[in-house]
Amino acid sequence: MSTATLKFIRVSPTKARLIAREVQGMNAELALAALEFMPNKAAGIIAKVIASAVANGDFEPEEVIITSCRVDKAAVMKRWRPRARGTATRILKPTAHIFVEVTESASVEAAKATPAKEAAKKTEKKVTAKKEAVKPAAKKAENKGDDLTKIKGIGKVYAGKLQAEGIETFEAVANMTQEQIDMMEEKYSFKGDFRDSIADAKNFVTKKEA
């Protein structure tokens, strides 16, 4: 928002208000274009005040609307004119104060606010993505099973293969079916007798329960 005031301008307030009512609420660019073709003396004066208000706010005319265009009565100059038989007639010369207020239009404010909103949304998305990335890691840590390398005949490599198949605890190894054993031996070519490993896993389960 910005304002401009022109004081003690030599124009009738009544005549100037007719023009002020026409431009109030208009876009500044349209108002200036309209005032340019008005023959009234007040039109040119009000156009200059509007242009000054726009410049004071460092705006462009198309960016603002005229929220207030007010014409107030100022001092009245008194003059005398000689008339017949030695008399005189009083002449009143009114002056006016012109006040203009312009405000940035809603569409321009929304357009300026859009980049900030987009930046905020991008930041929010990044934060959400980071949180989502942390969740699986946390779940993985929570679901981490037993150290299968403690079981007889199972090394680090094969323990990783068992975990990849969803077998992560001593109990899961101890409860493996013959089909699972055959699948593991065929898929990963287990060296040794897997039944010994299952028997050892059962010992670990028994110790845990004890």
> 16-30, 45-59, 114-128, 168-182: lowest mean pLDDT where?
114-128
Q: Would you kindly state where each structural domain of the chain is located, as residue ranges?
A: 2-105, 143-204
Domains 2-105 and 143-204 share a fold: no
Tens-place pLDDT, residues 66-121: 999 999 999 999 999 999 999 999 999 999 999 999 999 887 666 666 666 676 77
Check whether 176 has a pLDDT greater than 90: no
For residues 133-161, give the mean pLDDT: 65
Tens-place pLDDT, residues 125-137: 777 776 666 555 4
User: pTM surpassing 0.95?
Assistant: no
First to last CA, the chain: 79
Fold of 143-204: DNA polymerase; domain 1 (1.10.150)
Tens-place pLDDT, residues 4-25: 999 999 999 999 999 999 999 9
For domain 2-105, which architecture applies?
Alpha-Beta Complex (3.90)
Q: pLDDT value at position 116? A: 64
Q: What is the mean pLDDT of the chain?
A: 83
